[in-house]
Structures are given as C-alpha cells and as structure tokens.
C-alpha cells in the first residue's frame, strides 16, 4: 500500500486510454507537465484549469510515477525549479488544444489511430473462436448428442444452439467468460480511496483482470469496490494504459504464499475499450493467450 502525496495533484490526459500528458498542479505555485513527446518539465499556468476539465484523470503519486517511468523520467515529490515557461492565452481548453499548443507539447498525434490493426484483428479472431467454444461447452450433453436428442447432425444445428444460448438458456456462465483473457506480465496500480494498491498482473481481458500479491491488504475482499483509475503496465513494452473506471473484486483466494484476486471492470467508455484492445493485442503478440 502506497499512500497518496496530497500536497500536489497529479493528472493525466489520455488518448484512447493511453496517457500522453502528465501534470502536477498545486495552486498557486505549481503548474508543470511533461508529455510522451516532450519529457522535460514545462511550466504552464493553463494547467491550473486542468483539474476542472472533464477529460483529465486524477491519479495517485504511484500511478503518476509509473507514467513518468514509461517516458524515462524519474518522478520526484517536489516540483522542478528553473524550468522553462509556456506563455499562453487564457483560459486553457485541454479538451480542444490549438495547433500551437499541440506543437509546444509535441502531441500532434492525439486523435490519430493508434496500435496495429492487424494485431487487433488477430486478437478479435481468437476472441470470437474462444467465445464460440465456450458457448458450445455450455450446451447440455443430451442436447448436443445422443439417441434422444432429436439431432441427426449436432454440428449442423450449432448456429441455432448458439442463438438459443445467447437468447438466455445459458447466458450466466457465458457472460462471465465472454472476453478472452490475455497473459500480461506487468503491474497494476489501482487507486482505492487515499491509497494505491500495486499488484502483479496475471491476465487481463476487456471485462477485468487477475492480479497477485504476496499479502492481501484489508481492502481486498470479495465484493469490495475499487475506486480507480486502473493504471496497467506491461513488462518488456512501452505499453501503459489508464482506465478511468471503478472495479469490483469478484473473487479472492490464497495460492501458496500469495493471494490471487479477480476484478471486474465497470462500464468502459468507447475510447477506453479501443485502447484496451490495443494494449491486449500488444501483450497477445508478445506472450500469447491463456
């Protein structure tokens, strides 16, 4: 458990859930930020407006440090001295940056399509095949075959069986595993109240994640709500994703000397889903699926 450092507020701006700007703000003396394209701290009085912008996501110090580390910047608790300043016209609109602002912060890429379309299509193909296989596993054995089934060729009836299942005959077990899990070696930094839980990633899907810790803090209990955001980082890649969503612990168990727990995400925004798919495609391309 890592306590938040509340003297300074840390915020990120994301493009399809991928952080591209990290700011630290404390009125009236600290308004600094770095970006993925400009990893040197810059003073900007327009950052005082950032905490009130709907596109900004407030993160903990631990989460901010992870974002900075991905850009080869070591984050310190104190603000940097003697950094250059950006003189702008006020007020700032961080949801619609001007071309000059994009150039200063070197974030011209914001809004463009990210990730490998081929890798995402490959992952989606595997997801579709896996979902079909899991749905088939839910069909009762007597329904699939046997003298009393009334099916001359079970395979030929498979499309109708899938339709019946998705119409409600076996929706509960399929719903839980409707997203394929991708093995991700990395770390999840999960904000919960005034603290950050840092746990090892085991696997991630569009519906949630599985983590492991040597010891489970008291906040980890089945049914407990985690406030978010979730910052996920994959080892061996530059992939980091910030999901501004709450979560719920759906199971927890001890395995040897470690504690494993599963978290279900709340509803993701469209841009977050797209970013998470790109994150999973990168991890799938590197490690494969489970």
Q: Where are the alpha helices (H) located in 81-176, listed in sequence order?
A: 99-105, 117-137, 141-144, 158-164, 171-176
CA distance 70 to 238: 6
3-class DSSP state of 9: strand
What is the average pLDDT score of the chain?
80
Name the residue among 183, 239, 237 with its Cα closest to residue 212: 183
The residue with tokens 């999840």 is 188
- The position carrying tokens 């079970």 is 154
**Which of 182-191, 207-216, 232-241 is the least confident region?**
232-241
Structure pTM?
0.77
Sign of CA dihedral 178, 179, 181, 186: negative
Give residue 218's pLDDT.
79
**What's the confidence (pLDDT) of residue 238?**
74
Q: pLDDT above 90 covers what percent of the chain? A: 56
Dihedrals φ, ψ of 178, to 5°? -75, -15
Query: What domains are defined for the chain?
Result: 2-105 (no CATH), 117-176 (no CATH), 182-287 (2.40.10.220)
Contact indicator for 196, 186 with CB cutoff of 8 Å: no
Say yes or no to pLDDT of 114 above 80: no
Is residue 250 classed as helix, strand or coil in its secondary structure? strand
pLDDT class for 172, splitting at 50, 70, 90? Answer: very low
* pLDDT value of position 91: 79
Q: Which residue has better confidence, 192 or 11?
A: 11
Q: Which residue has the higher pLDDT, 196 or 132?
A: 196
pLDDT score recorded for residue 239: 78
């Amino acid at each position: 458990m890592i306590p938040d450092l509340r003297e300074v507020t840390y915020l990120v701006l994301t493009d399809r859930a991928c952080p591209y700007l990290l700011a630290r703000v404390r009125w009236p003396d600290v308004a600094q930020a770095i970006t993925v394209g400009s990893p040197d701290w810059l003073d900007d009085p327009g950052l005082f407006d950032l905490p009130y912008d709907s596109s900004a996501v407030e993160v903990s110090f631990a989460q901010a440090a992870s974002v900075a580390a991905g850009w080869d910047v070591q984050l310190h608790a104190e603000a940097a001295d003697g950094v250059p300043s950006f003189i702008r016209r006020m007020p700032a609109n961080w949801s619609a940056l001007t071309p000059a602002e994009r150039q200063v912060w070197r974030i011209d890429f914001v809004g463009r399509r990210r990730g490998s379309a081929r890798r995402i299509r490959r992952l989606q193909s595997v997801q579709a095949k896996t979902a079909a296989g899991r749905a088939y596993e839910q069909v009762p054995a007597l329904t699939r075959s046997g003298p009393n089934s009334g099916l001359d060729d079970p395979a030929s009836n498979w499309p109708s069986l899938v339709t019946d299942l998705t119409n409600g005959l076996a929706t509960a077990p399929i719903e839980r595993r409707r997203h394929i899990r991708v093995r991700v070696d990395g770390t999840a930094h999960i904000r919960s109240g005034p603290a950050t839980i840092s746990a090892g990633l085991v696997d991630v899907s569009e519906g949630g994640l599985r983590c492991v810790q040597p010891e489970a803090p008291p906040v980890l209990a089945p049914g407990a709500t985690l406030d978010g955001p979730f910052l996920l980082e994959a080892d061996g890649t530059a992939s980091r994703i910030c999901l501004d969503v709450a979560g719920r612990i759906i199971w927890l168990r001890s395995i040897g000397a470690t504690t494993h727990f599963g978290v279900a995400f709340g509803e993701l925004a469209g841009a977050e889903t797209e970013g998470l798919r790109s994150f999973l495609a990168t991890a799938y391309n590197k490690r494969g699926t489970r």
